[in-house]
A = this chain, B = another copy of it.
């Protein structure tokens, strides 16, 4: 059962292919009566435009790409990506754009994917995530000439359109809140040090702590996994000057840290306050529920998709600073005992 084409419609309607094309695309050149007849036939025989044929005429591919460059076992852990994707999706599907997804092993493979997608005309643009310091992808993508929106701070985005949130403000809010509660020894269990947002949060953390005249404010870097989060927490809590509050860079490490504290017979929040970055159902089911830095991740994705679509349409896409993460206090933070 062949898929119907405009030639089939043309034959049935007794007009030319050209007329059918005009009718179906809402362009002038056919009378209303003919247009209605053609639309009725198209509808009846279940015609759909063949995107390949459309794309061949220099038109858009009506798809954008997203390549994720973290090992599968890390990806699954964090709700972040799934939420981000659903936000991107919502925006794309409203405009009938498809999302091409690929999980890659490293940046080289990721660039290979972009080159292929772009070269084959599969996508009209892409969204770059997890920016690194001096990210090699930025100049390479710039050279490729593909429309790209970057999820990350403008300082690392080169000439690409950035969509970002003010992590520094969030760090400041958190530390100031903890200090207001009476904490003086605050630690940070951070993610991968080569990620640009890790660096930004690190610097903000250092600056705020110094500005408030706090004692040692150690930062430990991890790979975002529960195991490393647990190990980092164990180390921090075993030190002679153990912190009374720890800020974690994601939820799974925060939960792991919570478990470690309880294992070490420390009461949370009396002996240790815990803050997690990014809210997730997980943070609310553990006891005590975790104080978190909340972001609207789907909105974040949606905004990136909007900017990308604008870019593809040739509209000048301006950088977008999204809402800064907000501190949501729950049971895991309190004045130190």
A binding-site residues for B, Cβ under 8 Å: 1, 3, 46-56, 61, 63, 72-73, 75-77, 79-83, 85-87, 89-90, 93, 96, 98-104, 113, 115-117, 119-122, 145, 225-227, 229-230, 252, 255-256, 259, 262-263, 280-282, 284-287, 298
Find out whether the CB atom of A119 lies under 8 angstroms from the CB atom of B56: no
Interchain CA distance A298-B226 in the complex, whole Å:
20
Given contacts A75-B86, A119-B46, A281-B252, is CB(A100)–CB(B63) below 8 Å? yes
Interchain CA distance A61-B82 in the complex, whole Å:
26
Q: Closest CB of chain B to A72's CB: distance in Å?
A: 4
Contact of A86 among B72, B85, B230 (CB under 8 A): B72
Contact of A102 among B50, B99, B256, B287 (CB under 8 A): B99
Find out whether the CB atom of B79 lies under 8 angstroms from the CB atom of A76: yes
Q: Is the interface of A mostly helix, strand, loop or mixed?
A: helix
Q: Closest CB of chain B to A160's CB: distance in Å?
A: 18
Find out whether the CB atom of B100 lies under 8 angstroms from the CB atom of A98: yes
Number of copies: 2
Find out whether the CB atom of A121 lies under 8 angstroms from the CB atom of B51: yes
Given contacts A56-B50, A79-B77, A282-B252, is CB(A101)–CB(B119) below 8 Å? no
**Which residues on B sit within 8 Å (CB–CB) of A50?**
56, 120-121
**Which residues on B sit within 8 Å (CB–CB) of A99?**
100-102
Find out whether the CB atom of A89 lies under 8 angstroms from the CB atom of B77: no
- Look across to chain B and name the residue whose beta carbon is closest to the beta carbon of A119: B48
Interchain CA distance A276-B90 in the complex, whole Å:
32
